[in-house]
């Protein structure tokens, strides 16, 4: 059986889980006991191991070509990778980590060790998130998804971050209907089912988290 070593609320781990789901690959999800490990780690049927998200992406796109999540067309490929880089870079640094690392236990996110939640940091993350949601909505309205009508790595990366934040009800969906409509389409995909089933001990998700509509 294929295995994916991951952390429940880590966006990088969630991207890997979504990719495996989109490619319809069965795998055994293994929760890592080391929150500081270089995750995700994917182990294929033949024992090939890919460590870290970029390695997992490269392995899955090279070994399981259908459906392609990073398109060959140079324009679409460039836009896909631009969104991916933005999600795993600026979005993660300015919004996701400032909220998630303060609200979720370290063992589920891979966050550095922190003390009590700092609500000033959370507010900074919320402000940063609100600032970028209009751009996500505009792209989704123009293209069907963020880059094209097909679901691509760009969509999976951004949705991975928003899904982790949505576990705590931290995405103001009502204020951004275009983003909400796109995310409803994303969370309705079969690949999202395992994410929507996630539960942290003693920290249930927001009431709408697993609902396919808001």
> For 168-198, how does the pLDDT look when each residue is reduced to its tens digit (9 = 90+)?
999 999 999 999 999 999 999 999 999 999 9
Query: Is 0.85 surpassed by the pTM of this model?
Result: yes
Q: Which of these CATH numbers, 2.60.40.2580, 1.20.1050.10, 3.40.50.720, 1.10.1740.10, describes 74-189? A: 1.20.1050.10
pLDDT digits (tens, 9 = 90+) for 139-148: 999 999 999 9
Arithmetic mean of pLDDT, 23-28: 97
Helices 153-166 and 74-86 cross at an angle (nearest 10°) of 20
């Amino acid at each position: 059986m294929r295995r994916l070593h991951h952390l429940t609320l880590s966006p990088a781990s969630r991207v890997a889980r979504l990719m495996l789901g989109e490619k319809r690959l069965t795998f055994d999800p293994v929760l890592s006991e080391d929150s500081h490990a270089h995750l995700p780690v994917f182990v294929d049927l033949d024992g090939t191991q890919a460590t870290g998200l970029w390695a997992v992406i490269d392995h899955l796109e090279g070994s399981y070509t259908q459906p392609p999540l990073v398109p060959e067309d140079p324009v679409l490929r460039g836009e896909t990778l631009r969104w991916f880089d933005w999600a795993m870079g600026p979005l993660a640094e300015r919004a996701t980590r400032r909220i998630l690392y303060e609200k979720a236990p370290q063992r589920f996110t891979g966050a550095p060790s922190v003390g009590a939640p700092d609500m000033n940091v959370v507010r900074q993350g919320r402000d940063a998130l609100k600032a970028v949601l209009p751009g996500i909505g505009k792209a989704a309205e123009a293209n069907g998804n963020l880059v094209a009508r097909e679901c691509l790595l760009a969509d999976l990366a951004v949705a991975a971050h928003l899904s982790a934040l949505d576990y705590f009800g931290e995405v103001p969906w009502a204020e951004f209907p275009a983003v909400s409509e796109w995310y409803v389409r994303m969370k309705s995909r079969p690949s999202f089912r395992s994410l929507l089933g996630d539960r942290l001990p003693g920290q249930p998700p927001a009431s709408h988290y697993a609902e396919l509509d808001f």
